[in-house]
Amino acid sequence: MEGKRWFLVGMLIALLASTSCGRELKIREYGDEGDDRSLVYNHTLAMTLVEYASAVYVSDMTELFTWTCSRCNGLTKGFQVVELIFDVQHCLEAYVGVAQDLNAIVIAFRGTQEHRHVSSIYWLSVFVSFCKLLDERLCVLFNFVGELDPCSLQNWISDLFWKQLDLDYPGMPDAMVHHGFYSAYHNTTIRSGILNAIKKAKQYYGKLDIMLTGHSMGGAIAAFCALDLVVNCEAENVQLMTFGQPRVGNAVFATYYKELVPNAIRVVNERDIVPHLPPYYSIFPTKTYHHFSREVWLYNLGLGSLVYTVEKVCDDSGEDPTCSRSVLWTSISDHLSYYGVDLCGDVDLSCGIVMAPALKEFSTTDLKGNFVLSRVPASSILKMKTEETVTRNHSL
């Protein structure tokens, strides 16, 4: 393994020296087990899905609904939003649409965005004192305190340290999950909105694959949605690709997950702190959170100005010790950009959204203020001026 890595480094240095251009070169590394891991991970698809995961952070509903936002312009061009679901009560957002080039319904979930405030440094320091008793590796997770975090995730991240496995996943003996992530999908307006939109898209377009994506907490919600579609809706060809997703359940849950959603990829960027949370205690293998497979770990190799990204397809245990778990220092900034694509809000609106009055005709609002923007697939939407007027701050 080590030998192979250094061989690759040598090859690359030779290659870069001969071409002498500073551009980023991507290589992949597979393990020695002989299974063809190249079949499970598709780089082009990852580049596309990360753009979908990024677009859901756009706060201008009009641009998002009409797919005219600046983040909607690259590999996702031509995407048709069918439904945009906004659970104002819980500050959750997702969209469902059809990507004809992928022949798929794409569903993306937004991660968390919160107000800036002082992070719970006190609790973190208390935790640091205790964690040495449990698992040395955890103690060094804490260097993120004080790091610049334009998305103000500190509180959310420090809360993640304390999450308990507190819910039995229905119908799966011994599988336990985190109640909060589970409920964010199952016990809000998100689930019904999504099922409804899938039905609508299928009625119009016929058979389509389903691809789910999300960043951070959005990845955790996407994971529960993918499982739900397989288990309760008999969906076929469900693919999940998440970016910087936290752990959501225990080892038994991970085993079910691998069986039921075999096309699941969790991309982890470098030293991103969030996939390390809630913590994995290797000394309590049956009691701890445990990632489902399969991780793809992105890390940089190189010297000086010659830095290249390795995309390592990890083993199918979910907790490959040679992948992101091998890092000692974690970082928030590695959480905020994947493949060079920004993954946080475009403006500091917290839970706010911006919506032009012209969108009202597409929207349905419930008594609690949660709403859905919805349209007949493939129908044209009037060109709407986004600047006109804005309805601001559906803040919580």
Ligand X SMILES: *[C@@H]1O[C@H](CO)[C@@H](O)[C@H](O)[C@H]1NC(C)=O
Q: Which residues bind ligand X (CB under 6 A)?
A: 42, 44-45, 48, 102, 183, 187
- Least distance in angstroms from the C-beta of 39 to ligand X: 8
- Least distance in angstroms from the C-beta of 48 to ligand X: 5
Secondary element (H or E) of residue 308: strand 306-313
Cβ nearer to ligand X, comparing 41 with 67: 41
Dmax over CA atoms of the chain, in Å, equals 65
Relative to beta strand 238-243, strand 264-269 is: parallel
Contact 248, 306 (CB under 8 A): no
- Least distance in angstroms from the C-beta of 343 to ligand X: 19
- Least distance in angstroms from the C-beta of 42 to ligand X: 4
Cβ nearer to ligand X, comparing 183 with 317: 183
d(CA 243, CA 194): 20
Amino acid residing at 393: N
Query: Cα 209 from chain centroid?
Result: 19
Contact 186, 224 (CB under 8 A): yes
Cβ nearer to ligand X, comparing 98 with 373: 98
DSSP codes of every residue in 313-341: E--TTS--TTTGGG-SS-BSGGGSEETTE
d(CA 191, CA 183): 10
d(CA 146, CA 118): 10
Work out the angle between the directed axes of helices 251-260 and 217-233 (0-180°, nearest 10). Answer: 60
Amino acid residing at 361: E
Cβ nearer to ligand X, comparing 5 with 28: 28
Q: What is the DSSP letter of 289?
A: B
Secondary element (H or E) of residue 300: strand 295-303
Cβ nearer to ligand X, comparing 90 with 202: 90
Question: Quick count: other Cβ atoms within 10 Å of Cβ 115?
Answer: 11
How long is the chain?
396
Cβ nearer to ligand X, comparing 195 with 306: 195
- Least distance in angstroms from the C-beta of 44 to ligand X: 4
- Least distance in angstroms from the C-beta of 201 to ligand X: 19
> Which residues are known to be catalytic?
216, 272, 335
